[in-house]
Structure formats: C-alpha cells, structure tokens
C-alpha cells in the first residue's frame, strides 16, 4: 500500500478501509515524520471532508451506550448511510483504551463493510485526544462516511470537547435515579440536543416514562443550547430495538431545522475557527512548557504562587520572558 500522502489520499477518497486505518494511525502517531505525513494528508483531504452529520453521544455508566450505538448504527446503515464510530476518552492512556477498545462490544456493527469503528486515541491531555479524534473525523468523512458518531466516556471536560466538534449532542440516561441526575456532571445536561432514557423495557418501562418526565422538567429549567430547538426527551430500548428509529428521525429533523436556519453552517464555521485558535494556544503553551529555561522555572514559580508570595501575573511574565528571551515583549 502507498505510503506517500498523495497516493494515500487517493486511496482514502476511493473508500479503501486499509488506507483509512493507516491514515488514522499516522494522525495518532507522535513521531515527527508521521506528523509531517499526516499534515500533508489532512491538507489534501480536508476539502473533501464535512459531508456528514456529526453526532456526539455521552451517557452515564451502565446506560448501555455500546448496545445503543450498535442498535442505532444498524438502523442507520439500513437507511443507506455509511457510519463511522469514533471515541474521545482522555483516560485511555491510563486504562489502555477503556471504550471501544474491545470491538466485541459492537460485534454485529463491526462486521458491516459500511461501518467503521475506531477506539479512542491514547493521549496525556484531553486536547491531544480531541485533536486526533477531530482529525480522524475529517479522514472518515473524506472516505465517504456520512454519519459520524463520537462517543465520550464522560471524564472531565470530554463532553464539552465532543459537543464542540459535533453538530448534535445526544445524552443517554437510565430509568430511575432522577434525583441526582445519575452522577452526570454539571453542565452536561445543558449540552444535550436530545435526551434518551434507555433500557425502557420489561419492569423498567414505567420507571423510564417517569424519569423522562423528570428530565423534561429539569430541562425546562435550563436554556436550550440551540435556537429553534426544544430538546426532546424520549425513552428507548436498545436491547429490544424500540425507539431507535424514532431517535434517528429526531436526528434527521434536527439536522434539517438547523440547516434551514443556517445555524449548522454557522456552528461549524465557529467550531473550525475555535479549533484553530485552541490548537494554536495549546501548541504554544506546549512549546513553552518544553522550553528548557521555562521548565527549570516552573516548580519554583508554582510554589511561590500557591504560597501567595508571588502574584500569578508576575509568575506568568517571568515564564514568558524565559520562553521568548528576546525583545518581542517590549515591542
């Protein structure tokens, strides 16, 4: 298989899975020569990306995310779409890839040619993991996948990161336990564009309806993330494949409403710009932290700042001076 950017790009545009997998591996690599190749590839493929609906999915532990994604995924394939399932899991560096690492979790879906499942890249920072997933999303789109699901494990700020790279954010909950939002972190509920109470089957069906009412009430107390969109709360059973088609219809309706209002294009433009600036800020800060002079200063400055003997502003100024060590700051 080709290993130069041009041939690889061509193979990806032709929809070759192995080329796509290799490209993702390049994007995820930290080797400088891989990065150069990855950049060349992204430069070629980005103009061909973007033609998908990007769906972020999060949920409480035990909400049945994998089962839901499998059931929804099979339904989406049946509608004639090609589906990529990606993940953002900043804890995967420690846990060794806790979500989607085990393909058997979505056994049926992973056997389909029109589905592409990729575990979360490993990485020390959420920023690093997010960047690679964003880039992988572009590659998948260039390869012709027109539905992209980005799953998040729900650690730290990963939901916000996923909401910032997708068109729609779907929150998966369990029946019952509505009194404390089942351990959902602050702010997550407000990211949701669609709330699904899963496992609405058997004995839990009634509880699920009750929970849905609770969540509808809770959502009324919050501002919707999206203009022209009242966040629906529905029940479903991924196990019994009920409510899945309805959920997909809501996704399609959401996309239509936001496309017509121009909000989708606007959001994506904003996301792209933010991504550029976040990337710039992170790379810049990473370069600063890696600078030898700076690295020597950090422990002492942090200590002084915490002890209250040095104003943080001054500590920052010292870090900058050490990093830029030129006259740029006095311009």
Contact residues: a copy of itself, CB under 8 A: 32, 39, 42-43, 46-47, 49-50, 131, 134-135, 138, 178-181, 183-187, 189-190, 214, 218, 220-223, 225, 269, 272-273, 275-277, 279-281, 283-285, 287-288, 290-291, 301-302, 305-306, 308-317, 319-320, 323-324, 328-331
CA distance 52 to 41: 19
Identity of the residue, 146 or 279, whose beta carbon is nearer to a copy of itself in the bound complex: 279
Identity of the residue, 22 or 131, whose beta carbon is nearer to a copy of itself in the bound complex: 131
Identity of the residue, 96 or 183, whose beta carbon is nearer to a copy of itself in the bound complex: 183
Residue entry with tokens 């420690």: 94
Identity of the residue, 107 or 295, whose beta carbon is nearer to a copy of itself in the bound complex: 295
In the bound complex, what is the minimum distance in angstroms from residue 107's beta carbon to a copy of itself? 33
CA distance 205 to 221: 25
Q: How far apart are the first and last CA of the chain?
A: 51
Neighbours of 311 (CB within 10 A): 11
| Helical packing angle, 65-78 and 244-260, nearest 10° | 70
In the bound complex, what is the minimum distance in angstroms from residue 105's beta carbon to a copy of itself? 28
- Distances in Å between the Cα of 268 and the Cα atoms of 102, 129, 265 are 31, 20, 5
Are 199 and 208 in contact by the 8 Å Cβ rule? The answer is yes
Name 126's Cβ contacts closer than 8 Å, sequence gap at least 6: 88, 90, 156, 157, 158, 161
Name 30's Cβ contacts closer than 8 Å, sequence gap at least 6: none
Are 188 and 150 in contact by the 8 Å Cβ rule? The answer is no
**SS3 state of residue 4:** coil
In the bound complex, what is the minimum distance in angstroms from residue 67's beta carbon to a copy of itself? 25
Name 269's Cβ contacts closer than 8 Å, sequence gap at least 6: none
In the bound complex, what is the minimum distance in angstroms from residue 179's beta carbon to a copy of itself? 5
In the bound complex, what is the minimum distance in angstroms from residue 128's beta carbon to a copy of itself? 11
Identity of the residue, 80 or 308, whose beta carbon is nearer to a copy of itself in the bound complex: 308
In the bound complex, what is the minimum distance in angstroms from residue 74's beta carbon to a copy of itself? 30
In the bound complex, what is the minimum distance in angstroms from residue 301's beta carbon to a copy of itself? 7
Identity of the residue, 93 or 304, whose beta carbon is nearer to a copy of itself in the bound complex: 304
Q: Exposure of 256 by Cβ count < 10 A (0-12 exposed, 13-18 middle, 19+ buried)? A: exposed
In the bound complex, what is the minimum distance in angstroms from residue 172's beta carbon to a copy of itself? 17
Identity of the residue, 16 or 46, whose beta carbon is nearer to a copy of itself in the bound complex: 46
Identity of the residue, 70 or 193, whose beta carbon is nearer to a copy of itself in the bound complex: 193
Are 153 and 120 in contact by the 8 Å Cβ rule? The answer is yes
């Amino acid at each position: 298989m080709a290993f130069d950017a041009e041939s690889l790009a061509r193979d990806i545009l032709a929809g070759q899975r192995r080329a796509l997998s290799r490209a993702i591996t390049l994007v995820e690599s930290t080797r400088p020569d891989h990065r150069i190749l990855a950049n060349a590839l992204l430069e070629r493929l980005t103009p061909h990306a973007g033609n998908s609906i990007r769906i972020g999915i999060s949920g409480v532990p035990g909400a049945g995310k994998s089962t839901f994604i499998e059931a929804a995924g099979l339904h989406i394939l049946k509608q004639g779409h090609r589906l990529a399932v990606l993940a953002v899991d900043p804890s995967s560096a420690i846990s060794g890839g806790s979500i989607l690492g085990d393909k058997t979790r979505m056994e049926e879906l992973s056997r389909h040619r029109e589905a592409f499942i990729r575990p979360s890249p490993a990485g020390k920072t959420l920023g690093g993991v997010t960047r690679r997933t964003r880039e992988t999303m572009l590659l998948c789109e260039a390869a012709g996948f027109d539905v992209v699901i980005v799953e998040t494990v729900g650690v730290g700020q990963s939901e916000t990161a996923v909401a910032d790279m997708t068109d729609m954010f779907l929150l998966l909950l369990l029946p019952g336990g509505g009194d404390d939002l089942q351990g959902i972190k602050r702010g997550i509920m407000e990211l949701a564009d669609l709330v699904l109470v899963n496992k609405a089957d058997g004995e839990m069906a009634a509880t699920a309806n009750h929970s849905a009412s609770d969540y509808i009430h809770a959502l009324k107390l919050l501002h919707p993330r999206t203009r022209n969109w009242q966040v629906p709360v529905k029940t479903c059973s991924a196990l019994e494949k009920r409510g899945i088609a309805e959920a997909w219809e809501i996704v399609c309706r959401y996309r239509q409403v936001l496309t017509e209002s121009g909000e989708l294009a606007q959001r994506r433009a904003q996301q792209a710009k933010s991504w550029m600036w976040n990337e710039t800020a992170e790379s810049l800060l990473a370069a600063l932290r890696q600078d030898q002079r700076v690295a020597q200063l950090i422990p002492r400055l942090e200590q002084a700042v915490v002890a209250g003997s040095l104003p943080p502003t001054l500590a920052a100024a010292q870090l900058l001076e050490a990093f830029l060590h030129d006259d740029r700051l006095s311009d």
